Amino acid sequence: MWSEGSIKLGSDIFHYWVKHYDEGSQYGIDEGRISKLTLKRNGETVCNYDRGWDIKPADESTSTALAILMKDYN
């Protein structure tokens, strides 16, 4: 299942796409339910996971946005 949305943190707005399942797998982040995830800020990809890290969180704000998505979907 795909979920899409936005997260506002201070002056940053992140647009996200997350592919998540009902159960975790070896392909998920920390063997969790998220198998694909993209975070964009101002049109630039600042974090991307596609069954493995392509782009790790770029900074603290991006890490916070990722933590929110992990809590909600992983």
pLDDT at 64: 97
**H/E run at residue 44:** strand 44-50
What residues does each domain of the chain span? 2-73
How does pLDDT run across 55-74, given as a tens digit for each residue? 999 899 999 999 999 999 99
How does pLDDT run across 11-56, given as a tens digit for each residue? 999 999 999 999 999 999 999 999 999 999 999 999 999 999 999 9
Residue 7 — pLDDT band, cuts 50, 70, 90?
very high
CB-side neighbour CA atoms (13 Å) of 53: 9
Note if the pTM is more than 0.85: yes
